[in-house]
Amino acid sequence: MSLSRSPSPVPGGGWSSPGLNINTSGRSSPAKSSFAGPNGGTVTWESARLKSQGVTGYPSFSTQNHGFFTRHMRRISSSLPSFNMKTDERYAEKEKLGRGRWRVPLLGRVRGMVARMGRKGKIRALIALLLFTCYLLFYITPLWYYWRRTSWLGGGEKFVIILAANVGGGVMEWKGAREWAIERDSVRNKRKYVARWGYDLEIVDMSTKKRYAHEWRESWEKVDSIRNSFRKYPKAEWIWWLDLNTFVMEPSYSLQHHIFNNLEKHIYRDINEFNPLNITHPMQGNYLDPESSSAVGDGNVDSVNLMLSQDCSGFNLGSFFIRRSEWTDRLLDIWWDPVAYEQKHMEWEHKEQDALEQLYTTQPWIRSHTAFIPQRLINSFPTGACSDNGNDTRMHYNQDDRDFVVNMAGCEWGRDCWGEMYNFRELSYYLNRNPWERFKEDLVAVIWFKLTGQKVKCAYILLFSMFYLFALVPRLSPCFYAVQAPGILQISNSVQPRMLFQEGRR
């Protein structure tokens, strides 16, 4: 008897199961032979196996591509992390060779976040996206300038600002370094303002030209410049004249919101409300019509063509508005008339300003279309101007009220023009800081000054130093020194912080 197989439990050989009887030696698997079934039928090995699987297993069925995973396989696979096998084996650890770094696709993460959001969340996200897009289009891109210029949105094209510059020097003397600095700051200030609100800026050269040099008629050029600007900008309705020694303190104020949207409340036509020249108003005469003999003209705000302010000595033309109209053309012609100039220029100390005062006093048709605006609304004075009677709340600048424009009028007569321009420039910057600048200067810089007694010169070095000081160094040791770079604090438990300045050290 061979010992290669285990002995059969049936006497005489064979197995109790008919399908396990092996007639040929050396076979390790049952033969595909038939055997007698329980009812006498012939049963093969394959049919028995399939029948057994059908009884003990689950019935199979076809989904015809309508199953959950089949329908969502692409979406699920796009949201799963993918592995990047392109790793540099030179910098990999030996036990981690062949392992990739996984990353989640951005599109898959966005889809996953959107899919997990509810309906209200999607609506809110869509609204936030629209608002952010509008912010980029209208406040970051150049569209900001153009949409504020259009007449049906911002209306900026209706206003032109004329700035009187002096490129080549004056009649009597040339400009020095301080005069160039004043002009540079004034021009930059006006350019930023018009770029913000969509206005036009016309910088005119007020230096004496040959056709005026024989009579020293330098300041009279403003009349000619206004007429030329109306021709150059045909869509302009109002021209705002500004002298060089002016500074826009509040660039966030638009002319529309500050003045013109509610013009009737900002102007007064009866000069008796503030009359430093003691002009008799209204004029009396049997030849005058009711409009000319009225203190307020026709009372219609749309008939106002000239708006100016008054200071302690009378009319002030350092900042005034004039409107495009036939009345304006007639006024400019008479104002520019050389006959009146030749007769009165020796008496008129303030030149074209005194000429306008004379026209207002003697011509009733000019009064009926002229209005006055409070001085601090468009033409505030510094403390040194018109200060014979002390500080006047009617005309002097007030920081708490955030006056619109400062005019350093008369600073060349005993005052420091550049010093006043510099101080008001810095004050305007301080009053109009953004939240990030307020955080740096009002919080971080104050803490730095209290710790060191030194003013801040570089905000980014300061922020790095403060972060190093309060976040990183205290974790290392309770008693430490931070001498990493010039200007960094040297700190100890027993002494107050002080600033280290090491010259020549990098």
Instruction: Write down the residue that tokens 């197989």 correspond to.
Output: 5
Question: Other C-beta atoms within 10 Å of 189: how many?
Answer: 21
The per-residue pLDDT for 484 is: 38
Contacts of 187 (CB under 8 A, 6+ apart): 163, 165, 203
The per-residue pLDDT for 417 is: 92
281 neighbors 270 (Cβ within 8 angstroms): yes
The per-residue pLDDT for 210 is: 46
Distance CA 42, CA 402 (A): 110
Alpha helices in 303-351 (DSSP H): 326-335, 338-344
Contacts of 77 (CB under 8 A, 6+ apart): none
What is the dihedral sign for C-alpha 6, 9, 14, 15? negative
Kindly give the confidence (pLDDT) of every residue in the chain, 506 residues in length, as a single tens digit, with 9 standing for 90 and above: 444 455 555 555 555 555 555 455 554 455 545 545 555 555 566 666 666 655 555 555 555 556 666 666 666 666 666 555 555 555 555 555 445 555 668 888 888 888 888 888 889 989 999 998 887 777 777 777 777 888 777 889 999 999 988 766 554 456 788 888 999 999 999 999 999 899 999 998 876 554 555 555 556 778 889 999 999 999 999 999 999 999 999 999 999 999 999 999 999 999 999 999 999 998 888 888 888 888 898 889 999 999 999 998 899 999 999 999 999 999 999 888 776 666 666 677 777 888 899 899 999 999 999 999 999 999 999 988 887 777 888 999 999 999 999 999 989 888 999 999 999 999 999 999 988 888 888 888 888 888 888 776 665 555 656 555 555 544 444 443 333 333 333 333 333 333 333 333 33
Contacts of 98 (CB under 8 A, 6+ apart): 85
The per-residue pLDDT for 52 is: 60
The per-residue pLDDT for 61 is: 52
Distance CA 395, CA 381 (A): 6
Angle at 28 between CA 23 and CA 31, to 5 degrees: 50
Residue 359: both structure tokens together: 């026209």
Question: Other C-beta atoms within 10 Å of 441: how many?
Answer: 14
Distance CA 162, CA 30 (A): 109
Contacts of 496 (CB under 8 A, 6+ apart): 451
Distance CA 184, CA 176 (A): 12
Nearest Cα residue to 239 out of 213, 202, 198, 290:
202
Distance CA 444, CA 367 (A): 56
Distance CA 308, CA 315 (A): 7
The per-residue pLDDT for 306 is: 96
Q: What three-state secondary structure class fits 220?
A: coil
